[in-house]
Amino acid sequence: MNQPTISLTVRNEITVEASQERAFEVFTAEIGTWWPLADKTIGDAEAEIAIIEPRAGGRWYERGVDGSESEWGTVIAYEPSDRLVLDWQISAGWAYDPELHTEIEVRFIAETEERTRVELEHRGLEAYGGDAEQMRQIFASPDGWSGILADYGKAS
């Protein structure tokens, strides 16, 4: 008898009281205003801002108060106001790893003119190898994507 397999994909969603366009803008252009930089950073310096460059091929990174930059990954798809796909290249040791590739897809679905459902899917966690299940648990925890989306929701 086959054992059921646990999906390594993490899914979260939040509904915000904002237009689809505004929800996308807050998530992307204003990420530096809501990302929890107090405890969700990888740089050596205190983080000042998180940045998503608004184009496919752009960078996704943090900038420290000293001007240093720490890469988080790249922008795979940038489709205002519908969809954003990011390459998350942060290792299980919480450092940038250019060889690691997992994907975060964020969809913005208008429910009304002023309400948007934001669906986040973090997939490809198999890339973590032996740390995959541990990383899935971290991303799926209340302090993971659901907590980060809650911070986003407050800013929307």
What tens digit of pLDDT does each residue of 92-111 get?
999 999 999 999 999 999 99
Query: What is the reported pLDDT for 154?
Result: 96
Any idea which of 6-15, 27-36, 104-113, 141-150 has the lowest mean pLDDT?
Answer: 6-15
| Count of alpha carbons within 13 angstroms of residue 104, beta-carbon side | 23
| Averaged confidence pLDDT in the chain | 95
Mean pLDDT of 105-127: 98
CA distances from 58 to 2, 27, 55, 73 (A): 43, 15, 5, 9
Q: What is the pTM of this model?
A: 0.94
- Residue 6, pLDDT > 90, answer no
Confidence of residue 7 (pLDDT cuts 50, 70, 90): confident
- Residue 70, pLDDT > 80, answer yes
- Residue 52, pLDDT > 90, answer yes
- Residue 76, pLDDT > 60, answer yes
Closest C-alpha among 86, 22, 102, 88 to residue 54: 86
Higher pLDDT pick, 15 / 39:
15
Mean pLDDT of 113-126: 98
Q: Are 16 and 109 in contact (CB under 8 A)?
A: no
- Residue 32, pLDDT > 70, answer yes
Closest C-alpha among 106, 108, 35 to residue 72: 35
Query: What is the reported pLDDT for 3?
Result: 53
Residue 7: asked if its preceding bond is cis (omega within 30°), the reply is: no
